[in-house]
Amino acid sequence: GDSVTQMEGPVTLSEEAFLTINCTYTATGYPSLFWYVQYPGEGLQLLLKATKADDKGSNKGFEATYRKETTSFHLEKGSVQVSDSAVYFCALSDLGGSEKLVFGKGMKLTVNP
Amino acid sequence: NAGVMQNPRHLVRRRGQEARLRCSPMKGHSHVYWYRQLPEEGLKFMVYLQKENIIDESGMPKERFSAEFPKEGPSILRIQQVVRGDSAAYFCASPPPGGIANTGELFFGEGSRLTVL
């Protein structure tokens, strides 16, 4: 079945550091790709998405580009803030059969001042 | 998302007891997903329901777990005879009307954290 593999943490960075979180996927067809973020004690929230190859999703300074040739959707941010401390999940839409999202394992990011 | 309500937020059970987790989706939404977040394992799909119908239960363990979404009232995830391995955070999510095909966005509740002693 469809699956998502993402870089596992935890990762600790200093404020203003550059962030990359790797994500690759395996899917039949052409899924949409997503990054969700989970702040401490909360549910997941959609951070950004891309629905087709070469699309770039962006939000709150984060970006990710849908790369069909490498089946990747890496998340980047040029300068992280303490408030970015959270768990980040890469996901794809599995539209075969019932619609559902398939998530990676998540990566915990801590940003220190 | 504040619109998806889950309760209880925290639940402690002893081995062999039953756990019932409730989820009310966003107003006007008639579908819910249940996901389980185990330590070190990320989010795993469990079941997808609409009112009075199970659409996809391919992620549900074969025994002890059941889910329903009645015509009136919240969706309920029920775990019978809990074991320590059931300790996890259980999240409910509500898709927008029309499903996730267009936006891919799921609106998550804050989760119910089950601890089995």
Number of C-beta neighbours around residue B28 at 10 A: 9
- Which of A44, A89, A102 is closest, CB to CB, to B45? A102
Interface A-B, measured as beta-carbon pairs within 8 A, has a size of: 64
Mean pLDDT of B26-40: 88
pLDDT value at A94 more than 70: yes
What pLDDT is stored for residue A98 in this prediction?
67
A19: left (phi over 0), alpha (psi -120 to 50) or beta: beta
Mean pLDDT of B17-44: 91
Q: Model confidence at B2, in pLDDT bands (50, 70, 90)?
A: low
Question: Where is mean pLDDT largest: B10-14, B95-99, B106-110?
Answer: B10-14
Smallest CA–CA distance from B109 into chain A, residue: A43
pLDDT in tens, B58-101: 999 999 999 999 999 999 999 999 999 999 999 999 988 777 76
What pLDDT is stored for residue A62 in this prediction?
98
pLDDT value at B103 more than 90: no
Task: For residue A66, give the 3-state DSSP assignment.
Answer: coil
Beta-carbon separation of A98 and B43 below 8 A: no
What pLDDT is stored for residue A1 in this prediction?
78
Q: What is the 3-state secondary structure (H, E, C) of chain B?
A: CCCCEEECCEEEECCCCCEEEEEECCCCCCEEEEEEEECCCEEEEEEEEECCEEEECCCCCCCCEEEECCCCCCEEEEECCCCHHHCEEEEEEECCCCCCCCCCCCEECCCEEEEEC
What pLDDT is stored for residue A73 in this prediction?
97
What pLDDT is stored for residue B92 in this prediction?
95
The partner residues of B56 in beta bridges, in order of sequence, read B48
Smallest CA–CA distance from B40 into chain A, residue: A105
Instruction: Name residue, tokens 């950004």.
Output: A48
> B86: closest CA among B12, B9, B2?
B12
Beta-strand ranges (E) seen in chain A are 3-6, 11-14, 19-21, 23-26, 33-38, 44-50, 56-59, 62-65, 75-77, 86-94, 100-103, 107-112
Q: Model confidence at B1, in pLDDT bands (50, 70, 90)?
A: very low
Smallest CA–CA distance from A43 into chain B, residue: B110
Q: Which one of A23, A39, A44 would you mutate to disrupt binding with B, by most B Cβ within 10 Å of its Cβ?
A: A44
Selected residue with higher pLDDT from A73 and B40: A73
pLDDT in tens, A7-65: 888 999 999 999 999 999 998 888 889 999 999 888 899 999 998 899 999 999 999 99
A positions 4-33 inside 8 Å of B (CB)? 32
What pLDDT is stored for residue B97 in this prediction?
75
- Which of B99, B103, B111 is closest, CB to CB, to A43? B111
CA distances from B40 to A105, B64, B83 (A): 7, 23, 18
B positions 61-90 inside 8 Å of A (CB)? none
* Residues of chain B found within 8 Å of residue A73, distances taken between Cβ atoms: none
pLDDT value at B109 more than 70: yes
CA distances from B1 to A44, B74, B92 (A): 8, 16, 11
What pLDDT is stored for residue B95 in this prediction?
86
pLDDT value at A71 more than 80: yes
For A7, which DSSP code?
A: -
Beta-carbon separation of A100 and B33 below 8 A: yes
* Residues of chain B found within 8 Å of residue A51, distances taken between Cβ atoms: 104
- Which of A32, A97, A105 is closest, CB to CB, to B56? A97
Beta-carbon separation of A98 and B48 below 8 A: yes
